[in-house]
Amino acid sequence: MTPRYDFALALIREAGALALGYFHNLSSLTVKNKGPQDVVSEADLNTELLIKSRLAEAFPQDAFLGEETGVTAMAPGQGIWVVDPIDGTQPFVSGLSSWCVSIAYVQHGRVQFGMVFAPVRDELFAGGAGHPATLNGQPVKRHSGRSLRDGITGTGYNTRLGIEAFLRPFEGLLRAGGMFYRDGSGALMLCDVAAGRLLGYIEPHINSWDCLGAIGVIEAAGLRVNDFLANDGLTRGNPIIAGIPEVYDDLLALSLL
């Protein structure tokens, strides 16, 4: 995995630089609506095409799944790259810093490694099997909290599910004495869990490209996350529950409300 890991570290910075160029010229960007609160721009597509072409040249034996271009043919046991060129497109087109590029490599039913790069903040999270969880090359430290009252929990929502699927656990979090945080990028909030900024993160449904890069970092940090790839989570998505061990069971209980 090391050649792929090292290649992806360089590639995600290259892709981030391309996306950042578009970010600095938002007035000339072409933006289209995919659905309620779901937009896509030429920056998303062109950044994904860059990543896809680089990976195809370097590792033609691997499959590819991207938010904008879909999935290539995939054989049993074959490794697959899972990419979100810009997670947080709505913050991106709104001029906010809470967007990122996410790359994960999945094989044998698990995330082998993942990385998430937030270009405006110049923060690169990375980690995986055989690679410690890092932020800009330095080891991350987990949150010191012992309960949901001891910090902030990231929450996510999208219109693929009804509002009640979000409101029930959200109310439960507040009634448990917790506090919420949302910045528009599931990948970044998950990485904030890995980096000790958030206690945990819950979302009733999230797509694989929005979270697998961060899951690689969370697992490398020794934190807990549900089996996201179960029941074809790779192509269909799943709920996600992630957090420090001390609050994971409480987050899981909220998600089952």
11-55 pLDDT per residue, tens:
999 999 999 999 999 988 888 776 655 567 889 999 999 999 999
The boundaries of the domain holding residue 200 are 148-255
In terms of domains, do 127 and 177 share one? no
Residue with tokens 């949901």: 148
In terms of domains, do 106 and 186 share one? no
In terms of domains, do 10 and 130 share one? yes
- Does position 64 have pLDDT exceeding 70, yes or no? yes
In terms of domains, do 10 and 132 share one? yes
pLDDT value of residue 34: 67
- Does position 215 have pLDDT exceeding 90, yes or no? yes
- Domain with 6 in it: what CATH number? 3.30.540.10
In terms of domains, do 127 and 54 share one? yes
Last residue of a domain, one of 139, 163, 186: 139
| Domains of the chain: total | 2
Read off the pLDDT of each residue in 222-238 and give the average, rounded to a whole number.
97
pLDDT value of residue 157: 92
In terms of domains, do 57 and 173 share one? no
CA pair distance 255, 172, nearest whole angstrom: 9
pLDDT value of residue 257: 59
Q: Which 3 state secondary structure label does DSSP give 167?
A: helix
pLDDT value of residue 224: 98
Q: Tell me, what DSSP letter sits at residue 39?
A: E
Instruction: Note the pLDDT tens digit of each residue in 137-147.
Output: 999 999 999 99
- What does 99-136 look like in DSSP terms, one character per residue? -EEEEEEEETTEEEEEEEEETTTTEEEEEETTEEEEET
pLDDT value of residue 1: 87
Q: Which residues contact 39 (CB under 8 A, 6 or more apart)?
A: 31, 32, 33, 89, 90, 93
In terms of domains, do 23 and 124 share one? yes
Q: Which residues contact 3 (CB under 8 A, 6 or more apart)?
A: none
In terms of domains, do 125 and 179 share one? no
In terms of domains, do 22 and 101 share one? yes
- Domain with 186 in it: what CATH number? 3.40.190.80
